[in-house]
Structures are given as structure tokens and as C-alpha cells.
Structure 1
Amino acid sequence: MGCDRNCGLITGAVIGAVLAVFGGILMPVGDMLIQKTIKKEVVLEEGTIAFKNWVKTGTEIYRQFWIFDVQNPQEVMMNSSNIQVKQRGPYTYRVRFLAKENITQDPKDNTVSFLQPNGAIFEPSLSVGTEADNFTVLNLAVAAASHIYPNPFVQVVLNSLINKSKSSMFQVRTLRELLWGYTDPFLSLAPYPVSTRVGMFYPYNNTADGVYKVFNGKDSISKVAIIDTYKGKRSIYAVFESDVNLKGIPVYRFVLPSKAFASPVQNPDNHCFCTEKIISKNCTSYGVLDISKCKEGKPVYISLPHFLYASPDVSETIDGLNPNEEEHRTYLDIEPITGFTLQFAKRLQVNLLVKPSNKIQVLKRLKRNYIVPILWLNETGTIGDEKAKMFRSQVTGKINLLGLIEMILLSVGVVMFVAFMISYCACRSKTIK
């Protein structure tokens, strides 16, 4: 009788130990099996689910624009006053709906390169007005002229053309013209061959953006679709901020840090953005990046909206800006298991540098330099409800279920082992007495 009872207790303890060991083994083994299954489908190569959805995304991506409407153009030109701006927007377009082109795998560094065809469809229901809305903005051609042609004699010629075309430092343009291009009257009078079309994103439709080079995830799925280079140059990085719950899916939020826009004094990695053309105060100013070399010498500078994270001197000539992190920072929400970006908001401001010019009449009264904000944009995309549901069931749900099974086996096994061993020891003690 005592033997039967003791044997039963030992058997129960052994079963508990087996369950606990099985639960413990299932953790790394189960995770490894899930990782193997997921990795097979999330790498960016022909035949995987991820590749099919990546080539032509099913998620609707929108680009919102806010235009800085200048309120006091005459005061600025006559008295070199601060430029007063009023933000108007959003004006929304659907973008990135065309399939990627020229997709090329590079097995040496586990990357894939591609071009992204450009296309934009105006979305009236998501906009505050129409593409015919008018704005008073900086004259793009006039502002760029003195930078592209610094020779005094050439500027005298340019001045006569500017006056003849009745152009000024500021102009009134529709949204469509400002974004996608218009024929500039000043450039149309140029006596030598020159492109007369001007626009913040001209040309756009029927063109392609890139070359992008992204990681395909073969060596690490955590790097899937992360940009390695853009047009062969260094890409801006993001840092982890917090855990976020996105439609029931745990994701990691990464944000563009202020350090990415710091001066070379604060961040030596940014030394290449301090050029002779930028008004950099001996490279101590920060918050704007000079991309004029990418824009055929045009004095174009990018920043975060409303000069977020910029030094005070950058915005001292502009009134009407109100930077705040919640509205103006860039972030990405990445699912850590698959490496997929399930939500993002890419925010960017486009500015032009304007300098005084003794030879160009409409710029002659300026007594200082201006970094003039033209517009800022927010390109955003979020996983849809149906895809989120599918993701939860196919990935998150399975992982949670496996984790639950692991914990149940481990907990039940440990409890059984401890309980039966205590009972066995108690019974042995009574038998000895």
C-alpha cells in the first residue's frame, strides 16, 4: 500500500518534471520554428508573401502638404522685415501606389535595389481646399538666380530680365503650380537654353525616385526593408523610443532624433552638411541640411516642420512658426518579429535660402539672409484593419498561443513536481517514524 502510494507520488513528480522540461524546451525550440517559418515568408525575394506585398503595397499611403502663405511680402522687400507666414493645409495626395521597378538583388550584402515610380492623385475629401487655391510664396526662380549665377555681370543681365517679366521676390501661385510646376515668366526671357518649368516637385509624374537600396532580410529579418542607401548616399537614422500597441499588435516606435539635425560641433557625423553656402555661423547652427548639390545648385535646405530641433538663429527671421514634437517629428512603428513597418509618418520641410543682392533690384533692399520655409509634408501610412486582423492571427496570435502553452506546461509541470515531491517526502518521513 505504502509502496503503491510512494510509486504514484514519484510517478506524478516525474510527469511534472517532464512537463516542466518540455515546456522549457518548447520555448527556444518553438521560437526557433516560428522564426524559421516567418523568415521564410518575410524576406524580400521572389516567391515570398512579403515580396509580393512590397513590390506593390496594398496599404494606402498619403502625402499631406501644408503651405506657408506669406502675409507681408511688401514689408519684407522694402524694409527687410521678418517674414510672417500662415500655415494652410493639409492638401492630400495618394502616392506610392505604383509597383517598384528595376528590382535587383545583391547577394553579397543581402540588399535589394529598386526605383519607385512617382505618381500623385489629389484627394479632395482629405484636403482643406482644391488644387486651384492661391498662395503668396517665395519666387523660386528669382531666389535661386543669385546663387546659381554669382557673377555680378550675369546678375545685371538677370536683373533686366526679372524687371522685364515683372517678377518679384514673392509671387502668387496655385497649389498645383507650386507643387508640380509652372512656366516661369522670368526664365522664359532667358537668351540661352534653360528649363522654364519650375516647381517644388517638378518633374514628378512619369518619373522615378531612387535608386533605393534596402536590406532583404536574409541575414537578419529585423533589417527587412530598412534603407541602406538612397542614391548611393548616407541615409538618416532613427532611434528606439517606446513600445506601442498598434491595432492589437505590439510594435517598437523609432523616431528621428534631434542629433540627426545637430551641428557638426555637436555631431561630427554631420560635417558634410556644413558647406560654404549655408549660413552656418562657423558650423554652429543646426536644424537644417544643405541639399543644394542634389538640386543643381539651387539653395534648397531641408528641416523638420516649423524648424523643430533647429537652433534659434535659423528661424529668427520668420514669424508664425510653432514647432512641436507630436505634430512635426518623424517616426516608424516596426513589428519586431517580422521587421515590418506597420505605421509611419515621414515629416519634412522644404526651405530656400535668400540673400541680398546689389545687382538684383527686388533683392537689393534686403539687409540679411532668410531661410524661407515654403511647405512641409507628412507622408503617412498605416496597416489597414483587415491586414492587421490577418497579421494578428497569422503571426502575433500564433506566438501568443505558443507562449501560453509554454507557460502552462512549465507552470503545471513545476507545481506537479514540487507538490508530488513534498507529498513523497512527507510520506517517507511518516513511514520511517
Structure 2
Amino acid sequence: MLPLTQVKVMTGVGATLVVLCSIFIGVFPLIFNTIVDKMLVIREDSDTFEAFVTPPIPIYMQFWLFNVTNPEEIRFNGAKPVLEQVGPYTYEEVRVKYAFDWSKEGTVSYLQNKSYIFSPELSGERRESDLITSINVLMVSLAAQASTLHPVLLLLLELAFLRFSEKLFIRKPVGDLLFKGYPQPLLAEVTKIFGDPMGNNGRFGIFYPVNNTDDKVYEVKTGSDGMGDFMNIQSWNGSSTLHYWKGEGAQYCNMINGTDGSQYPPRLTRDSVLRIYTSELCRSLYLTYEKDLYHHGIPVYRYVPPREVLEDPEVNHDNLCYCVPDRDHCLGAGMLSLQPCLGLPLVLSTPHFYQGDEKELAKLVGLNPTKSEHETTIDVEPRTGVAMYAAKKMQLNIPLKRYGNLPSFKNVPEVIFPILWVNESANVDADMSQEVRNAVFVPFVVVDAICGSLIAVGALLLVLSGFRFLHIKRSAEQDKL
């Protein structure tokens, strides 16, 4: 081959390698994103549909109950409650979606059954048979709802408490307090008169009888018409909005925003806001970026609820619509009344009143709020929007005070009384994380390695062709001399 021809070939090959590989490195993320989008779309014949129906990642519900150590002093002397946290009692949460309806373009509707199975292995020495002294939620609920009635009706309620031996504090097995329920003669008598729409069958428990039931119909975006709102809830229980909140700015509080928290649209950034709706919360909330982390070697973004989400309504006026029944009855920071959606005077809060109302915290002994233990967090792989770790934490309370002229409550302190707190968590293990890493990061590593090597070869060919050209040019000039 002639020398100049060698130079031209080396230059052409080198330039081609550098240009094409540089272009491919630039467009590969677009190609990858297109592939990811197609894989994520929810449809019956997709590779990810099975994971959509039943999450492949174990979900656990950990319960910590507050054992009341001075019930008599509280009841008769108005003493400050002294609480002992007991737990965790761990249950495996099994989710199964069914009854799919694909009639609307770009969305799918479904029901989701949730079952809770106690895990002795993950609960250590704790068992559902452990006895806990807890506040009598049914008794306090009845007193709260009857407190504005005529004194004669209040007297009848007090007589009912005496007849059925209702006490302000009860000692029951953990399993009965949570999902199994326990026989409640007063409730049985009430249902005889007014019916039993909830199907309690004369039993009462904090989460009875919700085990192995669904929480109404969800309609979500499948991603078939774009991934910007992938998995966002379009309606719940047949409506695109809630109807619980009636206060100032109720339109904001009744919005159904975001996903159920298990999956988000892909290509998240540090400026992204994660929006979540779950029926148990009776509202939507949002999380913002906190920091970068690694989950089994995979880069993730951690998102947490900013303080203003549950801020005191008088500080963050967006929360005024959560005041029940009006602005004069607002709860403090970190608290939400569940009365409008559950029909019971329960109060949802952050565990141990973390970032909550310090006045309420000071009324109790035994609480110790910390960020690491009590903050809700979600760690998301940003390219796919997959939650690699999630811990949704909340506490259930009930207001205790002197309801009307009921003798059973005449000496009690006024306090938001903690019942239990729960951590609903999911954690992608090391093996599955490796699969995610292979699917999400290895392609980029391979492309970078191959294209980087080819670019280096191309650059080397260009350098060599340059030296070769100079050598040929000098030789030609010497021949002329």
C-alpha cells in the first residue's frame, strides 16, 4: 500500500471510530431510556406485569405498642401517662392486585387485597399472645362522639359502661388488639340496635376486620401514553378527589396526588418531588430530596417528607383544611385527625411525635423522638424510579380528655394518647440489587468500556497517521534537495 494511502486509511478509520463512538455514547442514554420505558409499561403481556400484580420484594409491617404502666393513676388522679414501648411485632404484608379493567386508554383499574401474617422469626421473643395494657379505644370513641349530647343520654352511656364493665384501660393480647379483635359486649349490643355495616360481629380491634380485604378500586396510569405520570393514581374509590376535608382550602387537602409509593416515574432528579397517596393516610403527601446514598452498591436518592407537610396549620396555612371541625380545633404539628375518613376520633402522627407538637410530647413519659428511628424515608434508583428501600412510619393516637360529665373521664388528663406506631417497609436485598445493577448499570459500563477503547484506538490511529504524514512529507522534501 502506498504511504499516503496508508495515512488516508488510518485517518479515516480513526476519525470514524472517534466520531461514531462519541455519537453512540451520547445517544445511548436515549436508547436505554426507550428500552426501560417499554419494559415498565403495565400491560398483561409485559415482563413486569407479574411484579405489578404481586410485589417481588417482601413488605413488612412492624408494630410497636405503648404499654401503659400507670393506668390507675391516670384514670383517678390525672397523672402524666408513663408509656413503655414494646415491639416490634412483625407481620408480612402480602399484596395481590386483581379485577383489572383496561377499558380506559392509558390507565388500568384494579382492586388490591392486603393480608397480614405474623412472623415469629422476625419478631424475636415477642408473640401475639403477649399482654399489653392499652387505652380502651372503643370506650374513648363512644365518649368523644357522645360528649355533646344531652346529659340524660350521657348518663345512659355511663350506665352502659358500668353494665358491660368497660374500663378506660384494658389488658389484651397483642394479636387481639391488632388484627384478630376481641369480644366486645357493648359493641355487640350497639350493632344489634343500629346494625353492623362494618362486619365487626361484636369484636373490636385496631385493625379488625381489615385483614385480607381490599381498600377500594384504584385507577393508575400504565405509562402507555408517556412516563411522566407513570403509576400516578387517577382515581380512588370511583373519584378523582377525596371528600373528607371541609375546612379552609379543602380543594388542596382533597387532592389525590402521586403513586402508592412502590414505583415512581423514571429519570428522577434531585429536584423531583415524590407524591404519594395511600388510603390509610386519608390524604396525599410529598417527599423531597435529602441526600445521595448507595443501596448495595447502587446509587440512590433519599427522599423524606419536609417539615411543612405536617406543620402546624397556623404556621403552614396549606394545612388549615385538615382542621376538624374548623380552624378553632386545629391539631399541632405532626398530627392529623382521622375522624372525617374513619368515623372514629383517632389522630395520626409521626412516631413519638417526631418533628411534632412539643407541648403534647411534654405531657407523656417514655417517648424519645429521633430522626433515624422515626422518620419516613424512601430511597429511589433515579433512572428507573424503582424504590430500593422504603419505610413509611406513622403513629396512631386518640384524644383523651374529660368528655362531657361522664364520671369515667372526670379525672383524666387532656392528652393526645399514643396507642401504637408502625413501620411499613420494603427493602430490595443484595441479590435483587445485583439484578438491578446488571440491568441498569452494566450496559453503561459495557458501552463506556467498548466505546472508550475504540475512541482510544481511533485517537491513536489519528496520532500515528499524523506522524506518518509528517514523516512522508520530510522524506519528500529531502528527496528534492
Considering the TM-score relative to the shorter chain, is it more than 0.5? yes
Name the CA distance, whole Å, in 1 between partners of 2:168 and 2:351: 23
1:185-196 correspondence to structure 2 within 5 Å: 185-190=185-190, 192-193=193-194, 195=196, 196=202
Greater displacement, 72-81 / 239-248: 239-248
Secondary structure at the aligned position of 1:96 is classed as: strand
Q: Which residue of 2 aligns with 1:148?
A: 145
Q: Which residue of 2 aligns with 1:164?
A: 163
Match of 2:120 among 118, 124, 143: 124
How many angstroms does 1:6 deviate by?
5.6
Secondary structure at the aligned position of 2:82 is classed as: strand
Secondary structure at the aligned position of 2:194 is classed as: coil
How many angstroms does 1:133 deviate by?
0.7
Name the CA distance, whole Å, in 2 between partners of 1:291 and 1:276: 11
The answer to whether the Cα contact below 8 Å between 1:141 and 1:184 also exists between their aligned partners in 2 is no
Q: Which residue of 2 aligns with 1:276?
A: 325
How many angstroms does 1:339 deviate by?
2.0
Match of 2:400 among 351, 354, 364: 354
Secondary structure at the aligned position of 1:156 is classed as: helix
Secondary structure at the aligned position of 2:91 is classed as: strand
Q: Which residue of 2 aligns with 1:285?
A: 332
Question: Structure 2 vs 1, CA of residues 362 and 422 (structure 1 numbering), >3 Å: closer, same or farther?
Answer: farther
1:312-327 correspondence to structure 2 within 5 Å: 312-327=358-373
Q: Which residue of 2 aligns with 1:380?
A: 425
Match of 2:223 among 217, 235, 239: 217
Secondary structure at the aligned position of 2:302 is classed as: strand
Matched, 1:403 2:448: yes
Match of 2:108 among 99, 112, 125: 112
The answer to whether the Cα contact below 8 Å between 2:334 and 2:349 also exists between their aligned partners in 1 is yes
Name the CA distance, whole Å, in 1 between partners of 2:317 and 2:464: 62
Q: Please, which runs of 5 or more residues in structure 2 have no aligned partner?
A: 197-201, 243-255, 257-283
Name the CA distance, whole Å, in 1 between partners of 2:471 and 2:140: 92
Match of 1:20 among 11, 18, 33: 18
The answer to whether the Cα contact below 8 Å between 1:95 and 1:118 also exists between their aligned partners in 2 is yes
How many angstroms does 1:160 deviate by?
0.8
Question: Structure 2 vs 1, CA of residues 22 and 373 (structure 1 numbering), >3 Å: closer, same or farther?
Answer: same
Q: Which residue of 1 aligns with 2:312?
A: 263
Q: Which residue of 1 aligns with 2:437?
A: 392
The answer to whether the Cα contact below 8 Å between 2:144 and 2:403 also exists between their aligned partners in 1 is no
How many angstroms does 1:186 deviate by?
3.2
2:194 is aligned with what amino acid? Answer: P
- Normalising by the residue count of structure 2, what TM-score does the alignment of the two structures yield? 0.80
The answer to whether the Cα contact below 8 Å between 2:288 and 2:303 also exists between their aligned partners in 1 is yes
Name the CA distance, whole Å, in 2 between partners of 1:21 and 1:410: 8
Secondary structure at the aligned position of 1:100 is classed as: strand
The answer to whether the Cα contact below 8 Å between 2:113 and 2:215 also exists between their aligned partners in 1 is yes
How many angstroms does 1:387 deviate by?
2.9
Question: Structure 2 vs 1, CA of residues 212 and 34 (structure 1 numbering), >3 Å: closer, same or farther?
Answer: same
Bigger relative CO (Cα 8 Å, ≥ 6 apart): 1
Name the CA distance, whole Å, in 1 between partners of 2:369 and 2:285: 20
The answer to whether the Cα contact below 8 Å between 1:22 and 1:409 also exists between their aligned partners in 2 is no
How many angstroms does 1:265 deviate by?
3.5
How many angstroms does 1:189 deviate by?
4.4
User: What CA deviation, in whole Å up to 9, does each residue of 1:384-414 have, x standing for no partner?
Assistant: 4443333333333223212333333445444
Secondary structure at the aligned position of 1:244 is classed as: strand
The answer to whether the Cα contact below 8 Å between 2:83 and 2:365 also exists between their aligned partners in 1 is yes
Q: Which residue of 2 aligns with 1:100?
A: 97
Q: Which residue of 2 aligns with 1:36?
A: 34
1:262 is aligned with what amino acid? Answer: E
Greater displacement, 395-404 / 301-310: 395-404
Name the CA distance, whole Å, in 2 between partners of 1:269 and 1:105: 36
Name the CA distance, whole Å, in 1 between partners of 2:78 and 2:463: 83
Name the CA distance, whole Å, in 1 between partners of 2:81 and 2:184: 23
The answer to whether the Cα contact below 8 Å between 1:346 and 1:380 also exists between their aligned partners in 2 is yes
The answer to whether the Cα contact below 8 Å between 1:10 and 1:421 also exists between their aligned partners in 2 is no
1:178-257 correspondence to structure 2 within 5 Å: 178-180=177-179, 181-190=181-190, 192-193=193-194, 195=196, 196-221=202-227, 224-225=230-231, 227=233, 231=237, 232-233=241-242, 234=256, 235-257=284-306
The answer to whether the Cα contact below 8 Å between 2:94 and 2:114 also exists between their aligned partners in 1 is yes
The answer to whether the Cα contact below 8 Å between 1:223 and 1:339 also exists between their aligned partners in 2 is no
Calculate percent identity across the aligned residue pairs: 30
Secondary structure at the aligned position of 1:119 is classed as: strand
The answer to whether the Cα contact below 8 Å between 1:222 and 1:338 also exists between their aligned partners in 2 is no
Q: Please, which runs of 5 or more residues in structure 1 have no aligned partner?
A: none
1:126 is aligned with what amino acid? Answer: L
How many angstroms does 1:46 deviate by?
1.4
User: What CA deviation, in whole Å up to 9, does each residue of 1:363-391 have, x standing for no partner?
Assistant: 1113x521111111111122244433333
The answer to whether the Cα contact below 8 Å between 1:165 and 1:189 also exists between their aligned partners in 2 is no
How many angstroms does 1:224 deviate by?
4.0
1:160 is aligned with what amino acid? Answer: L
Q: Which residue of 1 aligns with 2:379?
A: 333
Question: Structure 2 vs 1, CA of residues 138 and 17 (structure 1 numbering), >3 Å: closer, same or farther?
Answer: same
Secondary structure at the aligned position of 2:167 is classed as: coil
Secondary structure at the aligned position of 2:418 is classed as: strand
User: What CA deviation, in whole Å up to 9, does each residue of 1:326-379 have, x standing for no partner?
Assistant: 11111222222222223211111111112212421111113x521111111111
Name the CA distance, whole Å, in 1 between partners of 2:471 and 2:337: 79
Q: Which residue of 1 aligns with 2:390?
A: 344
User: What CA deviation, in whole Å up to 9, does each residue of 1:286-338 have, x standing for no partner?
Assistant: 11111211112x11111121111212123222211111111111122222222
Secondary structure at the aligned position of 1:356 is classed as: coil
- When the two chains are superposed, the root-mean-square deviation of aligned CA atoms in Å is 2.8
2:341 is aligned with what amino acid? Answer: C
How many angstroms does 1:158 deviate by?
0.8
